[in-house]
Amino acid sequence: MKDILNERLRRRAEQALNSGGFEGAEISATTLKEVVHELYVHQAELEIQNEELRTAQQALEASRIQYLQLFQSVPLACFTVNAAGIVGEANAAAERQFGLPLRRLKGRPLTLMVDSLDHGRLFTALSRLRETGQWTRQEYVYVGARSLIDGLTDARMVALEDGDKGDVLITVTDVTERNAWVGELQAARDEAERARAAYHHILHAVADGILGLDAEGVITFVNSAAQSMTGFDPTDLVGLRFASLLDSANADSSDAATSVALALSDGTVRQVPDSRMRRRGGGSFTAELTVSPIMQHRRISGAVVAFRDVTARRAAEEALATSERRHRTLVQSLNEGLVMRSADGTVQVANGMAERLMSSPAGVLLDPRAQPFNTRTLGDRATTAGGRRFIGADGVRLAGLPPAAQAVATGEPVVEQIVGIAEGEGAAAPTRWLRVSSHPVLNGDGKAESVVTSVSDISAIKSMERDLNVALDAKERFMAAASHDLRQPAQALMLLTGLLLKEPINDEARRIGVQLRDTVQSLGTLLDCLLDISKLEAGLVSPSVTPVDVGAIMDRLHGEFATVAASAGLTLRTVPSRLTLRTDGGLLERVLRNLLTNAIRYTQRGRVLFGVRRRGSTLRIEVWDTGIGIAENQIDRIFQDFYQVGNAARDRREGLGMGLSIAKRLIHMLGGSIDVTSRLGQGSCFAVTLPLAIVADDRPGIGAITEEDMAGAADGNGAEVLLVEDDAVIRMALSLMLEGWGYRVTDAGSVAEALDLLDGTMVPDLVLTDYRLPDGGTGLMLMDTLRRRMGRDLPGVLLTGDTSSDRLREAAGAQCALLHKPIQPHDLRRIVNESLRSASSQ
C-alpha cells in the first residue's frame, strides 16, 4: 500500500511541476513537505537505479567477456560475414581449420575461402538467409592453407554493434575425414552389395536346386533351379518346413528329413543319395541332396539344402546296368574269343572262349608280355620241341612279337593277322588257324595301358578256302581247255568261211556262208568276252595314259551311232566338251560305245542324250535315254557277268550281258567310277566319272595302224613269215590268207619241223605260232629257241585258244603279241603289220 501511495504522490508532483501550476500557487506546508519528501524519495530511487545500472553494466561486460571466451573456445570454426562477403570475426577453431592466423582471417573475402565451384551455391544460400531467415545445412568445399576442406555449414543471422563485423554467423564442421571414411565405407558397402548380387546371381544360375533353411528347418530362400524342378513359386515355398517338400509315401524321404534335422542339431554336412521330392501337380522326382549347416558366432543359424533331379540319371544307370548285363551275356556267348588285358598281363574282361584259348598254346597270341615267336624260354609250351610251329597265312614260320604284345609295344592296332598253329613239321601237319586282332587302349601320354584282343577260329574257313582254290584251279583248267578246244574249230570255220566267201558261188550258197560267218563271229565274241575278263582278272590290261580330247571321242561316237539311232526311230543328241583328260582314250571309247549301244538297244521311242558335265576336279560323261528303265532291285545286278535286263530267253542279238561288267572294270582301272540312276518305264542315266588328271606312267606303246599304213602294206612287202600250227586245216587257211596279203609263208606242224627249216636257208622276219604244239612243245619254247639261235629279238605272234591267266602272263613276259582264237582276219593283219613295223624301228 505504501508503494502505491508514493507512486501517486510522485505523479501528482510531476504533473504540478510539468503543468506550471506550481508557480504562484499557494501551497500548504503539508503539501510542500510532502513534495519535498517525495523528491528525496525520488532521488534515492534514482541513485538506486544508477547503482543497479552500473551493476548491470559490469555484469554485461563480464558476460561479453565470457561470451567472447566461449566464442573462441568453440571447437567448430565460426566466423561472421557482412553483406559484402568480408569476414569480420573468427574464432581459434577457424584459425586452426583454415590454417591461417586470426589477423589474416579477419577482413578476408569469403570468395577466397570457398572453392570456386561452390561460390554460386554459398552466396545464393546467404542471400536467401538474409531475405527469409531460412538456412539449409549442407556441405561446401572450402580452401584451406594446406588442402581443400569438406565443411558441413550452418549459418544464422546475428545483430552486432558494429555492422562491419557482419550480420551472419557461419559455423563450419570439418567433415573431410568423415567423408573419406564414409566414401570408404560406401565403397565397402557397394563391394559387399556387388558380392551379394553376384552370389545371388550364382545361386539362381546354378543347375542345382538351392533351399535356404532357418534354424527350425523353415524355408527362407529358393533359387530358380529349385523353382523349376519343383514347379512351386517362391511364395509357395518360403515359410514352409522343408519336410513338407518330401514325398511322405516314399521310405527314402524320411532319411532326408532326418538328415536335415541332424545337420541343424550337430552342424555336420550330410548327403542323401536318393530321396523323393514333391512336384507341383501331384508328381514327384528322385533327388540327390546335400545338407550344409550355416554357422554364425559358433551357433547353427540354419542350413543350405542343395539338390538335383537324378531321375533321368538313375534311369540311365539302370539302363546302363541292364545293357552291361546284356552285353556281358552277348560277349560270353560269342564263338569268337574276346579278352581285355592290362599291359602287365592282368585279365580285365574275358569271355569263355578267350579263357579257353589263354590256357591253350594260343595263349601267347593274347599275352601283352609275350616274347617274340622265335624266342624260346624254359617251360614255354608254345615253343616246345614237340614240333609246334606258329606260321602265317603263307605257311612261313612267324617271327617278331605276337599280336597283343606288338599292339602294346607299338601303340598301333594289329588287324586280322592270320596265325596258324601247326602240330608238326611237315606241310600236311594238322594246323589250327586263328584270325587275331589286337587294339591298344592308350592313356593320356599315348602309351598303351591295356589291349583288347579278339580271336576267331577260322580253321573251317581255311579248309573251305583250300577246297575253293582247288575248285577254282580245276575250273580255270577246264575253262582254258574248253576255250582252247572250242576256239580251234571256230578258228577253222572262220578262216574257211572267209576263203569260201572269196570264191564265186551262187547267191543261196553265199547267204548260207554269210550266216555261217555271223554265227562263228557270235561264238568268237562270246569267247572274246571270256578272254577280256581273264585279262582284267590277271592284271594284264594296263591303260596307256595320254592326253585325250574328250570332244573328239564324242564326235566320233556321234557319227557312228547317229545313223543307228535314226534307223531305230530315235534321236541322238550329243553335247560334247572341249576338255582334255589324261587317260586311255581307247579304253574310254570302248566303255562309252557300250553305253550308247545299250541306250539305243533298250529304247523303243524318244531320244538318247550324250553329254558331259564338269564337277569340280572331275568330269562326268552321261548317257541318258527314254527307254524301258531298270527296276530298283536290279540296278546292282546289271554289272554282273552275263546278266541282262529283259532278256530271259538269252537272245544273242541282244548281246551277251558282259558289256557293263567289263566297262565297270575298265573305268575302275582308269581311276574313275560308273553309276546308274533309273526309273522303270521312264528311262535311265549311265554316268562315267573321271578325274581331270590321272597320275600314270606315260610309257609309249606301239602306234596304231592307220588306213594308209594298211593300204601301203597290202602286199606284205615280201616279208618272210614262219607259220607253226599243228592243225592242218587252220595252217592251210592261214597260209592262203597271209600269201593273199603279200607275205612269203613257210609253214610247219611242230617245233621240230620249224627248227629243221631254220637249219636250212630260211630266215624268218616274223614267227606266227600256235601255243600248244605236238610232243609237249609250245610256241613260247619255239620263240625262245629261235631267238637264241638267231641272236636277235625275233618278232612273234602267239595264237592260242587258252584263256587262262597264266597263259596271258607268259605271253606278256615273252614280249610276244597274243591273239586268241577264233581270230578275225583284220585283227591278224593288223597285229602282223604292227609287229613287223615295231621290229624294223628298233
In the beta sheet, which residues pair with residue 150? 141
Long-range interactions of 557-564: CB distance < 8 A, separation 24+: 557/589, 557/592, 557/593, 557/596, 557/610, 558/610, 560/593, 561/596, 561/597, 561/600, 564/600
Q: Which residue has the higher pLDDT, 696 or 470?
A: 470
Q: Exposed, middle or buried by CB within 10 Å (0-12, 13-18, 19+), for 596? A: buried
Band of pLDDT at residue 18, cut at 50, 70 and 90: low
Mean pLDDT to the nearest integer, 750-754: 84
Predicted pLDDT of residue 234: 86
Predicted pLDDT of residue 141: 92
Which of 66-75, 656-665, 680-689, 801-810 has maximum average pLDDT? 680-689
Mean pLDDT, the chain, rounded, equals 77
Which of 185-199, 647-661, 719-733, 806-820 has maximum average pLDDT? 185-199
Does pLDDT of 65 surpass 70?
A: no
Strands in 337-342's sheet, in edge-to-edge order, are 347-350, 337-342, 448-457, 431-442, 414-423, 388-391
One-letter identity of residue 650: R
Contact indicator for 401, 370 with CB cutoff of 8 Å: yes
What number of helices (H) and strands (E) belong to the chain?
A: 24, 28
Predicted pLDDT of residue 114: 92
Which one, of 754, 810, 807, 761, lies nearest residue 785 by Cα? 754
Does pLDDT of 653 surpass 50?
A: no
Predicted pLDDT of residue 128: 92
Predicted pLDDT of residue 643: 47
Band of pLDDT at residue 378, cut at 50, 70 and 90: very low
Predicted pLDDT of residue 636: 66
Contact indicator for 70, 116 with CB cutoff of 8 Å: no
Work out the angle between the directed axes of helices 779-790 and 751-759 (0-180°, nearest 10): 20
One-letter identity of residue 132: T
Band of pLDDT at residue 521, cut at 50, 70 and 90: low
Cβ-proximal residues to 254 (8 Å cutoff; 6+ apart), any chain = 246
In the beta sheet, which residues pair with residue 549? 580
In the beta sheet, which residues pair with residue 581? 548
Q: Which residue has the higher pLDDT, 162 or 126?
A: 126
Contact indicator for 548, 575 with CB cutoff of 8 Å: no
In the beta sheet, which residues pair with residue 305? 211, 291
Query: pLDDT for 768-777, tens place per residue?
Result: 888 888 877 8
Q: Which residue has the higher pLDDT, 85 or 334?
A: 85
Q: Residue 88: what are its φ and ψ, rounded to 5°?
A: -100, -65
Contact indicator for 754, 722 with CB cutoff of 8 Å: yes
Mean pLDDT to the nearest integer, 400-410: 87
Polymer length in residues for the chain: 842
Predicted pLDDT of residue 695: 34
Cell matching residue 351: 569271355
What is the Cα–Cα distance from 721 to 713, expressed in whole angstroms?
14
User: Where do the H-state alpha helices sit in 691-804?
Assistant: 707-712, 728-740, 751-759, 779-790
Does pLDDT of 525 surpass 80?
A: no
Residue in the block written with cell 597290202: 714
Query: pLDDT for 621-638, tens place per residue?
Result: 888 888 887 776 666 666
Q: How far is CA 414 from CA 77, 368, 410, in A?
A: 96, 12, 10
Which one, of 754, 792, 798, 768, lies nearest residue 780 by Cα? 798
Q: Which residue has the higher pLDDT, 514 or 23?
A: 514
Contact indicator for 720, 744 with CB cutoff of 8 Å: yes
Does pLDDT of 649 surpass 50?
A: no
Percent of the chain with pLDDT over 90: 4
Does pLDDT of 140 surpass 90?
A: yes
Taking the alpha carbons of 827, 830, 833, 839 in that order, is the dihedral positive or negative?
Answer: negative
Predicted pLDDT of residue 808: 65
The lowest-confidence range among 19-33, 80-94, 436-450, 640-654 is 640-654
Predicted pLDDT of residue 807: 66
Mean pLDDT to the nearest integer, 247-276: 82
Band of pLDDT at residue 12, cut at 50, 70 and 90: low
Band of pLDDT at residue 380, cut at 50, 70 and 90: very low
Does pLDDT of 708 surpass 50?
A: no
3-state secondary structure 42-98: HHHHHHHHHHHHHHHHHHHHHHHHHHHHHHHHCCCEEEEECCCCEEEEECHHHHHHH
The predicted model scores a pTM of: 0.35
Mean pLDDT to the nearest integer, 452-481: 73
Mean pLDDT to the nearest integer, 390-419: 84
Q: Which residue has the higher pLDDT, 254 or 211?
A: 211
Predicted pLDDT of residue 16: 61
Contact indicator for 227, 233 with CB cutoff of 8 Å: yes
Does pLDDT of 258 surpass 60?
A: yes
Q: Which residue has the higher pLDDT, 607 or 732?
A: 607
- Tell me the three state secondary structure of residue 127: helix
Contact indicator for 463, 704 with CB cutoff of 8 Å: no
Biggest alpha carbon–alpha carbon distance for the chain: 220
What is the Cα–Cα distance from 270 to 292, expressed in whole angstroms?
7
What is the Cα–Cα distance from 118 to 139, expressed in whole angstroms?
9
